[in-house]
Structure 1
């Protein structure tokens, strides 16, 4: 019989060849467009619901605030800064913190904190499963906390609520955990878009802090949800920019450099802000009292600061508008930069229910305006505008504290409608991001979960397994065994030349057709009849991959079929077996990549393909393994 070679290929028996359509054998199929459409419709449904919940949450915050500070049952906005409670104002946030503690004790401890880190943790460790009770406990606790004077914004709680809604829907219907993650991210970002009317920034938030990937199956549902949330904002809240500010002129090159310097300085402040917040949180944990008392204790500090600086109480979106106007007095800027920060850091560190975005924007905007005033005073030629200095400070603070770079830039543009601010924002936020990256191991979003041993992805490069095809790492030294051989003959050959034996052998029939895979461990077993044909040791139903498939395809197929080697089929012409790929080949690919990243090692090279068949009564002559 003529020895078939690897270059010529071995025909595969039609009855044994698994087809690409057989999902039980080959896990990678064309994208399921119907499933993607279904997920998109579910994401839109979640976004519609979250938009309504966002409006109700704002009404609820206003109701609690009006009842506590003015004794009125009204859902209209009335700033708590105008209250006339006198010293009684000190007790209001403490009472609110006590109620939040009771809800955490008898409801769920997950309502504590600002929401995004908790959502990230569930995505990374619990297959995006969030307790359904968070859907109502989080907004209710946040309404009580903020309504009684807590220095937070409504965006954090609604992000957590939207994420819980998407996760709960994903637990009620039969979908994969990745699809559940998409629904969680869609609900969370739709909530942000509904509050601020910032769909593009919300999409970037999903990519940078929740999805940790960029693919159509994730991006399309989330984008549709964010668009729906923005429509809900325009319908249920208001038209136009959330934060009004004067029209900006195009900055000069000197001004651009100055704004970048402001971004670097604010980035340093963002590092300090993050470290102080977690220092306060650690300090609360050392107190000799039950954690349920911490929010009340933090509330007393909030109330005390609020007594002397009423503008630090409550949501305070009007404070952001004031800093962006460029006309805020110095005393207000100092109050927001120092006292608002102290109130927020103590309250958040105490473990109450709140958020981070609005306070960071307020503090950053005030700091940017203060830096702008100082630069105008001492560097007359800088030619900067105070409103723009406040805007870049606002965005840079969020960029440095969260490292959501693109989210910070686009959010500032969308909430103000100032396209001329794009270049200054890019320079300032990049500077803040760089400082944060160099000086902090984690961010204000990830420090808490990092302490619990949860690693947050920071790289978004394509997976190596997706970038390398099977044919580039295909084994060339695998041996094909004719099914005419007996177990005794093959066993004798393996004992005679053990260095040339692989863990698995390809078996071909008398006509050269692919017959299956033989495990050499089974070959060594003494419980089999050594006079029986080797075909009796064939593994049942062997899965295969194509030469042009990725290594990720191979890994998924190995995991699904519980095998560690796969025959590789040719793509064009008659289906032929080109060889086999094993998990060791995939590990070698990773090793080569690590060497290439660390030194001038060569890239993964295409291995020369060649196959020899051990026929009955014949010696094997195998070509040496080479690299092209």
Structure 2
């Protein structure tokens, strides 16, 4: 199916959806809508150690993109429909609509606005209703009720998140290292899933609980009743099976395996802490839950999604603070020590950059009144061509568009430099006679720079009169907008540079080296 259908069905599908959003205007081949679920069903149904959520997200996204291509919509609207389809699939699988909305924001939309959130929210509500209709209305992963942890336990859970963050970093590196090993095989990529499947079968023969989606494994780990040897073997063998299968290009998901490995790692760490420090007050089911969430937060950097998903999937409200502390620790480790995530590494290797922050549009924040400049390009409508030509010659004005006002200072229109020097016009004629009608090209001083840019783009002008109660109070040029934006970029780049240097320092300290920064006084 990958060879004759589409290579995009290989792997877990979310990086491919992200790539289409970022570089291909959210256009996904309609064939993915059929090929992805069929290929994933075959892979998982025959024992592949994957979750069903990744293929469902990819399938829903492909369906949304296909519908967006059938109708005449913009690329941004098609992106929203794609995200709505993808997150509706996740909500239908787990019954977690709020987590699905955050997934759309952090991994697909890369924005937060009413025009995108409302359609996605409606789609997620519909998906959750389908989940309740087809499955059940209770938590997807049942676990014993947890009590409010003490401050000591809360601190330990947070440090556990840091440790899980290092594990997620190692898991991500190993997965792509395995993928690189398959790249070096002297056979066509179509055959890679064969040796991958052989390894999965060999591991599954000795550890059958590693086969399939393994949602029952997650429930078992969260119960806190599984023995240490079983949990530890599940963590190790599930990781080996999943890493080999995913690296071979087999169609499947990543969320369930990450949750399984994270939950097992959290449970093992919790058991060890209880063995050494019985007074710590650690709860094994809660340790497993924060391990699940922290593993996903560290590997994908979907920070809010990881926290909310754990809360919705288990309905354990008392776990909020431990989840927040653990996911924050895992996120810090991932952010400073890993350039790309398990979701973005593949497309980053193809030269596709992915946003790592959701900053407000500076043009939407700044008003026209804050950046308008004084200018000499406001001309009285009664000025003759002879007068304006003489003035332009002596003043060495380089502007190409000029704003015209009447005797009362009211805006009358815009005149171009080419019209002023038109030899077919009488030099004694006034500007009022040249501008035949008052053009609707102006901007209010209370409007945003984004509105001004849209106005300039639609009208094809480089200068706009700034009005206050129909009176011209100044002009706005494209240079004013560029200077305002450049100032913001300069401040933003300074902040990004500081973060980059901090990342380098941390990596050097881990390697036992020092980084000399000549731009710092320290």
TM-score normalised by structure 1 residue count: 0.75
| Residues in 1 aligned to 2:24 and 2:215: alpha-carbon distance in whole angstroms | 34
Q: Which residue of structure 2 aligns with residue 517 of structure 1? A: 414
Is the Cα contact below 8 Å between 1:478 and 1:506 reproduced in 2?
no
Is the Cα contact below 8 Å between 1:194 and 1:230 reproduced in 2?
yes
Q: Map of 1:352-367 to 2, 5 A cutoff?
A: 352-367=250-265
Q: Which residue of structure 2 aligns with residue 495 of structure 1? A: 393
| Residues in 2 aligned to 1:263 and 1:339: alpha-carbon distance in whole angstroms | 22
Q: Which residue of structure 1 aligns with residue 342 of structure 2? A: 444
Q: Which residue of structure 2 aligns with residue 138 of structure 1? A: 36
Q: CA deviation at 1:484?
A: 3.7
Q: Map of 1:159-238 to 2, 5 A cutoff?
A: 159-238=57-136
Deviations 1:511-563 (A, max 9, x none): 7543322333x268676557264647759845222111111111122222222
Gapped regions of structure 2 (runs ≥ 5): 496-522
| Residues in 2 aligned to 1:533 and 1:287: alpha-carbon distance in whole angstroms | 81
* SS class of match (1:327): coil
User: Is 1:577 matched up with 2:475?
Assistant: no
* SS class of match (1:568): strand
Gapped regions of structure 1 (runs ≥ 5): 1-102, 601-628
Relative to structure 1, the CA distance from residue 546 to residue 170 in structure 2 (aligned partners, 3 Å threshold; closer, same or farther) is same
Deviations 1:282-316 (A, max 9, x none): 22222222111112221111112112211111111
Deviations 1:131-153 (A, max 9, x none): 11111111011101111111101
Is the Cα contact below 8 Å between 2:161 and 2:326 reproduced in 1?
yes
The structure, 1 or 2, with the larger RCO (C-alpha pairs under 8 Å, 6+ apart) is 1
Deviations 1:198-227 (A, max 9, x none): 111111111111111222111111112111
Relative to structure 1, the CA distance from residue 381 to residue 528 in structure 2 (aligned partners, 3 Å threshold; closer, same or farther) is farther
User: Is 1:314 matched up with 2:212?
Assistant: yes
Q: CA deviation at 1:501?
A: 4.7
| Residues in 2 aligned to 1:424 and 1:130: alpha-carbon distance in whole angstroms | 39
- The more displaced of 559-568 and 237-246 is 559-568
Q: Which residue of structure 1 aligns with residue 292 of structure 2? A: 394
TM-score normalised by structure 2 residue count: 0.90
Is the Cα contact below 8 Å between 2:158 and 2:329 reproduced in 1?
yes
Q: Which residue of structure 2 aligns with residue 369 of structure 1? A: 267
Q: Map of 1:222-261 to 2, 5 A cutoff?
A: 222-261=120-159
Computed over aligned residues only, the root mean square deviation of the Cα atoms, in angstroms, reads 2.1
Q: Map of 1:431-510 to 2, 5 A cutoff?
A: 431-498=329-396, 500-509=397-406
| Residues in 2 aligned to 1:513 and 1:417: alpha-carbon distance in whole angstroms | 63
Relative to structure 1, the CA distance from residue 150 to residue 501 in structure 2 (aligned partners, 3 Å threshold; closer, same or farther) is same
User: Is 1:332 matched up with 2:230?
Assistant: yes
How many residues of Structure 1 are paired with residues of Structure 2 in the alignment?
A: 493
| Residues in 2 aligned to 1:321 and 1:593: alpha-carbon distance in whole angstroms | 49
Is the Cα contact below 8 Å between 1:256 and 1:427 reproduced in 2?
yes
Q: CA deviation at 1:179?
A: 1.8
* SS class of match (2:414): strand
Q: Which residue of structure 1 aligns with residue 518 of structure 2? A: none
Q: Map of 1:121-132 to 2, 5 A cutoff?
A: 121-132=19-30
